[in-house]
Structure 1
């Protein structure tokens, strides 16, 4: 039972869905008026680019024998998917979330791009930073910054993210997917880029 729960946590909070959740939360909490049709268009575009396209690319890479599972268990398996994710993120910054529309989301994805590049460099160096921790820690820092930026009280949300971070880390350890060092590195790879970019929009 415990094994199933911990495995479910890894599946439910896969890194692919985290950027979209961050954007959905932003539109839910922003005090600015944003036309609902524009929100829907952005969310659909992001769903296609951050979830559907990576899944399709994964199946292509699996067919070609480049990856064995969606968890990218080895550093060699990570290189191509991370590089492709970096290209997709650049496309999002240029076409979906340009700086002049939603500056907060623009820098959120700049941070994601930085984390992706760092993770890619680490993969070349044969170090497998936890992408689950990269994504959840990036979301955590972004939400903290949003609460300050918009002067909103989201203490409960941030507390839940802290609990989720612990649950995800426990899950990855239990499944023997990562070591403590890989989890800690993953946390800081996601957290620090979002932190250093805050002065650009806060």
Structure 2
């Protein structure tokens, strides 16, 4: 039973959904006036680019024999998906998010881009940092920064994110997808870009 729960955590909190969760949370707590039309357009566009498109690309790469499974177990399998993910994030930054209108989200995605590029570089160097931990820790840090930026008390949500981060790390260790070093590296790759970029908008 526990084994099944820990395995399911990796699916429930998959890296692909983290950018969209960040966008949804931002629109939920932001005190700024944003029209529903703009909000819905941004959410739908980002969902298509960061969730649906990567899934379609995965099946294409699998058909071409570039990846074997969704787990991306080897560093070689990670190179094409991560490189294409960088292109997708760049597309989001250029076409969907405006630094002047949605500066918080803009730099959140810049942080995602930096983390993805760092993970790609490590994959080229044959080191497999945990993408799950990169994404969840980056999102966690974004939540913390937003709460400070907007002076909003979200202690309950931050506590939940802390539990989720620990659960994801436990899941990755339990399934032997990563070792401790890969998880720690993933944590820093996710957190540090968000911390560095906060100086541009906080």
**Offset, 1:10:** 0.2
What whole-Å deviation, never above 9, does each CA across 1:10-44 have from its counterpart, x for those lacking one? 00000000000000000000001100111111010
Correspondence for 1:166: 166
Correspondence for 2:183: 183
SS in 1 for 2:37: helix
Distance 1:162 1:16 in 2: 19
Distance 1:32 1:81 in 2: 35
User: Does 2:118 match 1:118?
Assistant: yes
Distance 1:95 1:115 in 2: 20
SS in 2 for 1:128: coil
Correspondence for 1:156: 156
Displacement over 3 Å in runs of 4+: none
Correspondence for 1:108: 108
Distance 1:147 1:69 in 2: 37
What whole-Å deviation, never above 9, does each CA across 1:67-91 have from its counterpart, x for those lacking one? 1111211100000000000000000
What whole-Å deviation, never above 9, does each CA across 1:174-201 have from its counterpart, x for those lacking one? 1110000000000000000000100100
Q: Note the aligned Cα RMSD (angstroms).
A: 0.5
Distance 1:179 1:112 in 2: 23
What whole-Å deviation, never above 9, does each CA across 1:144-186 have from its counterpart, x for those lacking one? 1000100000111111111011100000011110000000000
Distance 2:101 2:93 in 1: 11
Correspondence for 1:96: 96
Distance 1:33 1:160 in 2: 27
Distance 2:168 2:82 in 1: 20
Distance 2:101 2:57 in 1: 29
Distance 1:165 1:71 in 2: 19
Distance 1:82 1:128 in 2: 12
What whole-Å deviation, never above 9, does each CA across 1:122-146 have from its counterpart, x for those lacking one? 0001000000000011011111100
TM-score, normalised by the number of residues in structure 2 = 0.99
How many residues are matched?
202
**Offset, 1:100:** 1.6
